Amino acid sequence: MTSRERVLAALNHREPDKVPVDCGAMRSTGIMAIAYNRLKKHLGITGGETKLYDSVQQLALPEQWYLDRFHIDAVDLEQAFADDPADWKDWLLPDDSPAKLPTWLKIEKRDDTWVCVDGEGDAIAQMPHNSLYFDQAMWPLHEVHKDSFDDLPYYLDKVMWSYMTGPLWRNSGRPDFYTMLRERAKKLYEETDYAIMIGFGGNLFEWGQFLYRTDGFLMNLVTHREEMEKMLDRLTEIHIENLKPVLEAVSPYVQIIQVGDDLGMQSGPMLSPKMYHEIFFPRHKKIYRYIKDHSDIYVFLHSCGEISEFIPDLIEAGVDVLNPVQINTPGMEPERLKREFGKDISFWGGGADTQHILPEGTPDQVRADVRKNTEIFMKGGGFVFNQVHNILAGVPPENIIAMYDEVNSIR
Protein backbone atom coordinates (compact mmCIF):
# COMPACT_ATOMS: atom_id res chain seq x y z
CA MET A 1 0.00 0.00 0.00
CA THR A 2 1.05 3.60 -0.52
CA SER A 3 0.97 5.93 2.44
CA ARG A 4 -2.24 7.52 1.19
CA GLU A 5 -3.91 4.16 0.65
CA ARG A 6 -2.80 3.05 4.10
CA VAL A 7 -4.33 6.06 5.87
CA LEU A 8 -7.55 5.91 3.84
CA ALA A 9 -7.95 2.20 4.59
CA ALA A 10 -7.63 2.90 8.30
CA LEU A 11 -10.13 5.79 8.14
CA ASN A 12 -12.52 3.44 6.33
CA HIS A 13 -12.20 1.02 9.26
CA ARG A 14 -10.20 -1.55 7.38
CA GLU A 15 -6.90 -2.95 8.58
CA PRO A 16 -4.12 -1.75 6.24
CA ASP A 17 -0.87 -3.60 5.53
CA LYS A 18 0.69 -1.88 8.55
CA VAL A 19 -0.29 0.75 11.06
CA PRO A 20 -0.22 4.20 9.40
CA VAL A 21 2.02 6.70 11.19
CA ASP A 22 1.86 10.48 11.46
CA CYS A 23 4.14 13.25 12.66
CA GLY A 24 3.21 16.84 11.89
CA ALA A 25 0.14 16.42 9.68
CA MET A 26 -1.42 18.99 11.99
CA ARG A 27 -0.21 21.21 14.80
CA SER A 28 -0.82 18.83 17.66
CA THR A 29 0.82 15.75 16.17
CA GLY A 30 4.28 17.17 15.60
CA ILE A 31 7.62 17.70 17.28
CA MET A 32 9.04 20.74 19.04
CA ALA A 33 12.07 22.23 17.31
CA ILE A 34 14.39 21.67 20.29
CA ALA A 35 13.63 17.94 20.30
CA TYR A 36 13.94 17.90 16.51
CA ASN A 37 17.43 19.44 16.59
CA ARG A 38 18.58 17.07 19.32
CA LEU A 39 17.28 14.12 17.32
CA LYS A 40 19.16 15.30 14.23
CA LYS A 41 22.36 15.62 16.23
CA HIS A 42 21.86 12.16 17.78
CA LEU A 43 21.38 10.59 14.34
CA GLY A 44 24.21 12.52 12.74
CA ILE A 45 21.88 14.34 10.35
CA THR A 46 23.62 17.41 8.96
CA GLY A 47 22.29 20.13 6.70
CA GLY A 48 18.70 21.06 6.18
CA GLU A 49 16.74 23.65 8.12
CA THR A 50 14.53 23.57 11.21
CA LYS A 51 11.59 25.70 10.09
CA LEU A 52 9.10 26.82 12.74
CA TYR A 53 5.89 26.35 10.80
CA ASP A 54 4.06 26.81 14.12
CA SER A 55 5.80 29.67 15.93
CA VAL A 56 3.44 29.61 18.90
CA GLN A 57 4.32 26.05 19.89
CA GLN A 58 7.81 26.23 18.32
CA LEU A 59 7.14 23.17 16.14
CA ALA A 60 9.50 22.01 13.43
CA LEU A 61 8.26 21.20 9.95
CA PRO A 62 9.44 17.59 9.40
CA GLU A 63 12.01 17.37 6.61
CA GLN A 64 12.18 14.58 4.05
CA TRP A 65 14.80 12.62 6.01
CA TYR A 66 12.39 12.48 8.96
CA LEU A 67 9.43 11.39 6.84
CA ASP A 68 11.55 8.65 5.26
CA ARG A 69 13.41 7.45 8.38
CA PHE A 70 10.26 7.01 10.45
CA HIS A 71 7.90 5.93 7.65
CA ILE A 72 5.50 8.83 8.07
CA ASP A 73 2.29 8.45 6.05
CA ALA A 74 0.56 11.85 6.37
CA VAL A 75 1.63 15.45 5.89
CA ASP A 76 0.27 18.92 6.45
CA LEU A 77 -0.51 20.91 3.30
CA GLU A 78 1.77 23.54 4.89
CA GLN A 79 4.61 21.46 3.38
CA ALA A 80 3.69 22.83 -0.03
CA PHE A 81 4.02 26.46 1.09
CA ALA A 82 7.29 26.38 3.04
CA ASP A 83 9.84 26.29 0.25
CA ASP A 84 10.59 30.00 -0.33
CA PRO A 85 13.88 30.98 1.41
CA ALA A 86 12.71 34.60 1.53
CA ASP A 87 9.97 33.58 3.96
CA TRP A 88 12.42 32.49 6.67
CA LYS A 89 14.93 34.24 8.91
CA ASP A 90 17.46 32.96 11.44
CA TRP A 91 16.27 32.37 15.00
CA LEU A 92 17.79 30.82 18.09
CA LEU A 93 15.67 28.46 20.13
CA PRO A 94 15.70 28.66 23.95
CA ASP A 95 18.52 26.08 24.03
CA ASP A 96 20.52 28.24 21.55
CA SER A 97 20.17 25.76 18.72
CA PRO A 98 19.36 27.21 15.27
CA ALA A 99 15.98 27.43 13.61
CA LYS A 100 14.17 29.47 10.98
CA LEU A 101 11.39 31.85 11.99
CA PRO A 102 8.79 33.21 9.53
CA THR A 103 9.75 36.64 8.22
CA TRP A 104 6.14 37.84 8.27
CA LEU A 105 6.09 37.85 12.09
CA LYS A 106 7.39 40.87 13.98
CA ILE A 107 9.01 39.47 17.11
CA GLU A 108 11.12 41.72 19.31
CA LYS A 109 12.99 41.40 22.60
CA ARG A 110 11.66 43.43 25.54
CA ASP A 111 13.84 42.98 28.58
CA ASP A 112 14.09 39.19 28.86
CA THR A 113 10.86 38.44 26.99
CA TRP A 114 10.22 37.83 23.30
CA VAL A 115 7.09 39.68 22.21
CA CYS A 116 5.07 39.26 19.00
CA VAL A 117 3.63 42.59 17.86
CA ASP A 118 0.85 42.92 15.30
CA GLY A 119 0.47 45.56 12.58
CA GLU A 120 -1.17 48.00 14.98
CA GLY A 121 1.63 47.69 17.50
CA ASP A 122 -0.30 45.57 19.98
CA ALA A 123 1.60 42.86 21.87
CA ILE A 124 -0.48 39.77 21.21
CA ALA A 125 1.88 37.02 22.39
CA GLN A 126 4.98 36.64 24.54
CA MET A 127 7.64 34.07 25.33
CA PRO A 128 9.31 34.87 28.67
CA HIS A 129 12.86 33.90 29.55
CA ASN A 130 13.15 30.14 30.12
CA SER A 131 9.81 29.50 28.41
CA LEU A 132 9.67 27.15 25.43
CA TYR A 133 6.72 28.61 23.52
CA PHE A 134 4.57 31.72 23.16
CA ASP A 135 1.60 32.51 25.40
CA GLN A 136 -1.36 34.65 24.44
CA ALA A 137 -0.98 38.18 25.80
CA MET A 138 -4.14 39.86 24.54
CA TRP A 139 -7.83 38.96 24.87
CA PRO A 140 -9.51 41.55 22.67
CA LEU A 141 -13.06 41.21 24.04
CA HIS A 142 -12.24 40.63 27.71
CA GLU A 143 -14.85 42.49 29.78
CA VAL A 144 -16.38 43.89 26.58
CA HIS A 145 -20.08 43.49 25.79
CA LYS A 146 -21.49 44.03 22.31
CA ASP A 147 -24.89 44.18 20.64
CA SER A 148 -23.53 43.39 17.18
CA PHE A 149 -20.72 41.16 15.94
CA ASP A 150 -20.47 42.48 12.41
CA ASP A 151 -16.88 43.49 13.18
CA LEU A 152 -15.92 40.12 14.68
CA PRO A 153 -13.21 39.42 12.03
CA TYR A 154 -11.24 42.42 13.33
CA TYR A 155 -11.10 40.93 16.82
CA LEU A 156 -10.26 37.46 15.53
CA ASP A 157 -7.13 38.89 13.93
CA LYS A 158 -6.06 40.22 17.33
CA VAL A 159 -5.71 36.70 18.69
CA MET A 160 -2.31 35.00 18.78
CA TRP A 161 -3.50 31.84 17.02
CA SER A 162 -4.83 33.85 14.11
CA TYR A 163 -2.04 36.39 13.76
CA MET A 164 0.93 34.03 14.21
CA THR A 165 -0.04 31.96 11.22
CA GLY A 166 2.01 29.49 9.19
CA PRO A 167 3.18 29.57 5.58
CA LEU A 168 -0.14 28.44 4.11
CA TRP A 169 -2.64 30.85 5.66
CA ARG A 170 -0.30 33.84 5.65
CA ASN A 171 -1.10 33.99 1.92
CA SER A 172 -4.86 34.16 2.48
CA GLY A 173 -5.06 37.88 1.71
CA ARG A 174 -3.70 37.42 -1.82
CA PRO A 175 -6.24 37.83 -4.64
CA ASP A 176 -4.98 34.59 -6.19
CA PHE A 177 -4.90 32.66 -2.91
CA TYR A 178 -7.45 29.98 -3.80
CA THR A 179 -5.89 29.37 -7.21
CA MET A 180 -2.53 29.08 -5.44
CA LEU A 181 -4.06 26.76 -2.83
CA ARG A 182 -5.46 24.47 -5.51
CA GLU A 183 -2.21 24.39 -7.49
CA ARG A 184 -0.05 23.62 -4.44
CA ALA A 185 -2.45 20.93 -3.20
CA LYS A 186 -2.54 19.35 -6.68
CA LYS A 187 1.25 19.33 -6.90
CA LEU A 188 1.69 17.71 -3.48
CA TYR A 189 -1.00 15.15 -4.32
CA GLU A 190 0.50 14.21 -7.68
CA GLU A 191 4.18 14.25 -6.70
CA THR A 192 3.88 12.33 -3.40
CA ASP A 193 1.77 9.47 -2.11
CA TYR A 194 1.22 10.94 1.36
CA ALA A 195 -2.22 11.41 2.86
CA ILE A 196 -2.69 15.20 2.95
CA MET A 197 -4.37 17.20 5.70
CA ILE A 198 -5.29 20.88 5.65
CA GLY A 199 -5.60 22.76 8.92
CA PHE A 200 -8.79 24.82 9.02
CA GLY A 201 -9.67 25.31 12.69
CA GLY A 202 -13.36 26.11 12.75
CA ASN A 203 -13.20 26.51 16.53
CA LEU A 204 -16.12 27.82 18.56
CA PHE A 205 -15.53 27.14 22.26
CA GLU A 206 -11.83 27.94 21.96
CA TRP A 207 -12.45 31.17 20.05
CA GLY A 208 -14.61 32.27 22.96
CA GLN A 209 -11.69 31.61 25.28
CA PHE A 210 -9.24 33.40 22.98
CA LEU A 211 -11.48 36.45 22.67
CA TYR A 212 -12.83 36.81 26.21
CA ARG A 213 -10.21 34.92 28.25
CA THR A 214 -11.23 31.54 29.61
CA ASP A 215 -12.69 32.74 32.88
CA GLY A 216 -14.57 35.58 31.19
CA PHE A 217 -16.02 33.36 28.48
CA LEU A 218 -17.17 30.64 30.87
CA MET A 219 -18.92 33.23 33.04
CA ASN A 220 -20.45 34.91 29.98
CA LEU A 221 -21.94 31.59 28.87
CA VAL A 222 -24.00 31.69 32.05
CA THR A 223 -24.55 35.42 32.67
CA HIS A 224 -24.73 36.68 29.06
CA ARG A 225 -25.79 33.57 27.20
CA GLU A 226 -27.86 35.34 24.53
CA GLU A 227 -24.93 37.61 23.66
CA MET A 228 -22.51 34.67 23.49
CA GLU A 229 -24.88 32.72 21.26
CA LYS A 230 -25.09 35.73 18.96
CA MET A 231 -21.29 35.80 18.80
CA LEU A 232 -21.15 32.06 18.15
CA ASP A 233 -23.73 32.35 15.36
CA ARG A 234 -21.62 35.02 13.66
CA LEU A 235 -18.51 32.88 14.13
CA THR A 236 -20.28 29.88 12.59
CA GLU A 237 -21.24 32.03 9.60
CA ILE A 238 -17.62 33.14 9.18
CA HIS A 239 -16.35 29.57 9.30
CA ILE A 240 -18.83 28.39 6.67
CA GLU A 241 -18.10 31.42 4.46
CA ASN A 242 -14.41 30.53 4.63
CA LEU A 243 -14.99 26.83 4.06
CA LYS A 244 -16.75 27.28 0.72
CA PRO A 245 -13.73 28.44 -1.35
CA VAL A 246 -11.31 26.24 0.60
CA LEU A 247 -13.28 23.07 -0.18
CA GLU A 248 -13.69 24.07 -3.81
CA ALA A 249 -9.92 24.51 -4.08
CA VAL A 250 -8.64 21.40 -2.30
CA SER A 251 -11.37 18.77 -2.52
CA PRO A 252 -9.82 16.68 -5.31
CA TYR A 253 -6.43 16.56 -3.62
CA VAL A 254 -6.77 16.75 0.18
CA GLN A 255 -8.13 13.79 2.13
CA ILE A 256 -8.51 15.24 5.64
CA ILE A 257 -9.49 18.62 7.06
CA GLN A 258 -8.57 19.51 10.63
CA VAL A 259 -11.03 21.31 12.86
CA GLY A 260 -10.57 21.88 16.56
CA ASP A 261 -12.17 22.72 19.88
CA ASP A 262 -10.56 21.68 23.17
CA LEU A 263 -13.50 20.58 25.31
CA GLY A 264 -11.73 18.69 28.07
CA MET A 265 -9.34 19.10 30.96
CA GLN A 266 -7.07 16.50 32.51
CA SER A 267 -9.75 15.68 35.08
CA GLY A 268 -12.89 15.89 32.98
CA PRO A 269 -15.00 18.06 30.66
CA MET A 270 -14.41 21.82 30.65
CA LEU A 271 -18.14 22.46 30.34
CA SER A 272 -21.17 20.36 31.12
CA PRO A 273 -22.39 17.93 28.46
CA LYS A 274 -25.78 19.69 28.73
CA MET A 275 -24.28 23.09 27.91
CA TYR A 276 -22.26 21.57 25.09
CA HIS A 277 -25.33 19.90 23.61
CA GLU A 278 -27.47 23.02 23.83
CA ILE A 279 -24.98 25.67 22.71
CA PHE A 280 -22.07 24.17 20.77
CA PHE A 281 -23.32 20.91 19.28
CA PRO A 282 -25.84 22.43 16.81
CA ARG A 283 -23.23 24.94 15.58
CA HIS A 284 -20.49 22.32 15.31
CA LYS A 285 -22.93 20.19 13.36
CA LYS A 286 -23.57 23.02 10.87
CA ILE A 287 -19.83 23.39 10.24
CA TYR A 288 -18.94 19.70 10.06
CA ARG A 289 -21.98 18.76 7.99
CA TYR A 290 -21.18 21.56 5.56
CA ILE A 291 -17.82 19.89 4.96
CA LYS A 292 -19.42 16.49 4.45
CA ASP A 293 -22.16 17.86 2.19
CA HIS A 294 -19.67 19.66 -0.05
CA SER A 295 -16.73 17.25 -0.21
CA ASP A 296 -15.52 13.71 0.42
CA ILE A 297 -12.93 14.96 2.90
CA TYR A 298 -12.71 13.36 6.34
CA VAL A 299 -13.46 15.63 9.30
CA PHE A 300 -10.61 15.43 11.83
CA LEU A 301 -11.36 16.98 15.23
CA HIS A 302 -8.62 17.94 17.64
CA SER A 303 -10.01 18.09 21.17
CA CYS A 304 -7.78 17.65 24.20
CA GLY A 305 -8.57 16.14 27.57
CA GLU A 306 -11.25 13.85 28.92
CA ILE A 307 -14.03 14.24 26.37
CA SER A 308 -15.64 10.81 26.35
CA GLU A 309 -19.05 12.22 27.31
CA PHE A 310 -19.03 14.37 24.18
CA ILE A 311 -18.08 11.65 21.69
CA PRO A 312 -21.66 10.54 20.82
CA ASP A 313 -22.57 14.15 19.98
CA LEU A 314 -19.34 14.59 18.01
CA ILE A 315 -20.08 11.50 15.93
CA GLU A 316 -23.59 12.75 15.23
CA ALA A 317 -22.20 16.18 14.30
CA GLY A 318 -20.07 14.58 11.60
CA VAL A 319 -16.64 13.98 13.13
CA ASP A 320 -14.82 11.11 11.43
CA VAL A 321 -11.49 11.26 13.26
CA LEU A 322 -10.64 12.12 16.88
CA ASN A 323 -7.32 13.47 18.12
CA PRO A 324 -5.19 13.55 20.30
CA VAL A 325 -6.91 10.74 22.27
CA GLN A 326 -5.67 11.61 25.74
CA ILE A 327 -5.52 8.05 27.05
CA ASN A 328 -4.14 8.89 30.51
CA THR A 329 -7.28 10.71 31.61
CA PRO A 330 -10.10 8.84 33.39
CA GLY A 331 -12.71 7.69 30.88
CA MET A 332 -10.36 7.79 27.87
CA GLU A 333 -8.81 4.36 28.31
CA PRO A 334 -8.00 2.73 24.94
CA GLU A 335 -10.05 -0.40 25.66
CA ARG A 336 -13.15 1.62 26.47
CA LEU A 337 -12.80 4.02 23.54
CA LYS A 338 -12.28 1.22 21.02
CA ARG A 339 -15.10 -0.89 22.45
CA GLU A 340 -17.72 1.86 22.68
CA PHE A 341 -16.88 4.12 19.75
CA GLY A 342 -14.45 2.27 17.49
CA LYS A 343 -17.05 1.38 14.85
CA ASP A 344 -18.15 4.98 14.40
CA ILE A 345 -15.01 7.07 14.71
CA SER A 346 -11.29 6.70 13.99
CA PHE A 347 -8.58 7.47 16.52
CA TRP A 348 -5.59 9.50 15.36
CA GLY A 349 -3.33 9.47 18.39
CA GLY A 350 -3.25 7.77 21.74
CA GLY A 351 -0.33 5.62 20.65
CA ALA A 352 2.20 6.77 23.24
CA ASP A 353 1.86 8.67 26.52
CA THR A 354 3.55 12.05 26.09
CA GLN A 355 3.17 13.22 29.69
CA HIS A 356 5.18 10.58 31.49
CA ILE A 357 6.44 7.62 29.48
CA LEU A 358 7.78 9.33 26.35
CA PRO A 359 9.72 12.07 28.21
CA GLU A 360 10.64 10.15 31.38
CA GLY A 361 10.63 6.44 30.57
CA THR A 362 13.30 4.18 29.14
CA PRO A 363 13.26 3.13 25.47
CA ASP A 364 11.97 -0.29 26.55
CA GLN A 365 9.10 1.34 28.45
CA VAL A 366 8.28 3.46 25.42
CA ARG A 367 8.23 0.39 23.17
CA ALA A 368 5.94 -1.47 25.60
CA ASP A 369 3.55 1.48 25.81
CA VAL A 370 3.41 1.84 22.02
CA ARG A 371 2.74 -1.86 21.48
CA LYS A 372 0.06 -2.06 24.18
CA ASN A 373 -1.90 0.94 22.89
CA THR A 374 -1.45 0.17 19.20
CA GLU A 375 -2.59 -3.44 19.48
CA ILE A 376 -5.84 -2.22 21.05
CA PHE A 377 -6.57 0.61 18.63
CA MET A 378 -5.47 -1.05 15.36
CA LYS A 379 -7.95 -3.95 15.38
CA GLY A 380 -10.48 -3.55 12.59
CA GLY A 381 -8.81 -0.38 11.34
CA GLY A 382 -9.84 3.07 12.51
CA PHE A 383 -6.39 4.01 13.85
CA VAL A 384 -3.53 6.23 12.73
CA PHE A 385 -0.56 6.14 15.07
CA ASN A 386 0.57 9.30 16.77
CA GLN A 387 1.72 10.06 20.27
CA VAL A 388 -0.70 11.95 22.54
CA HIS A 389 -0.04 15.52 21.35
CA ASN A 390 3.30 16.97 20.26
CA ILE A 391 6.71 15.51 21.07
CA LEU A 392 7.93 18.01 23.65
CA ALA A 393 11.35 19.62 23.91
CA GLY A 394 12.72 17.37 26.65
CA VAL A 395 11.96 13.99 25.06
CA PRO A 396 15.22 12.03 24.63
CA PRO A 397 16.13 11.13 21.04
CA GLU A 398 16.43 7.46 22.03
CA ASN A 399 12.75 7.46 23.07
CA ILE A 400 11.60 9.08 19.83
CA ILE A 401 13.46 6.43 17.83
CA ALA A 402 12.11 3.64 20.03
CA MET A 403 8.55 4.90 19.55
CA TYR A 404 8.68 4.92 15.77
CA ASP A 405 10.72 1.74 15.41
CA GLU A 406 8.26 -0.14 17.58
CA VAL A 407 5.09 0.98 15.81
CA ASN A 408 6.63 0.34 12.40
CA SER A 409 7.44 -3.22 13.48
CA ILE A 410 3.81 -4.02 14.28
CA ARG A 411 1.80 -5.90 11.68
% of the chain residues with pLDDT over 70: 100
Q: Are 407 and 21 in contact (CB under 8 A)?
A: yes
**Which domain does 182 fall in, by range?**
3-30+62-87+142-407
100 located within any domain: no
340 located within any domain: yes
Amino acid letter, residue 321: V
172 located within any domain: yes
Considering Cα of 338, then 342, then 343, then 348, what sign does the dihedral take? negative
For the stretch 172-196, pLDDT in tens is: 999 999 999 999 999 999 999 999 9
Q: Taking 90 as the threshold, does the pLDDT of residue 411 lie above it?
A: no
**Nearest CA among 286, 324, 287, 284 for reference residue 307:** 324
Q: Are 261 and 305 in contact (CB under 8 A)?
A: no
53 located within any domain: no
Instruction: Give mean pLDDT, residues 141-158.
Output: 97
Q: E strand or H helix at 197, and its extent?
A: strand 195-201
Distances (CA, A) of 242 to 25, 178, 239: 21, 11, 5
For the stretch 60-104, pLDDT in tens is: 999 999 999 999 999 999 999 999 999 999 999 999 999 999 999
327 located within any domain: yes
Query: Any idea what the CATH number is for the domain that residue 249 is in?
Result: 3.20.20.210
- The total number of structural domains in the chain stands at 1
132 located within any domain: no
350 located within any domain: yes
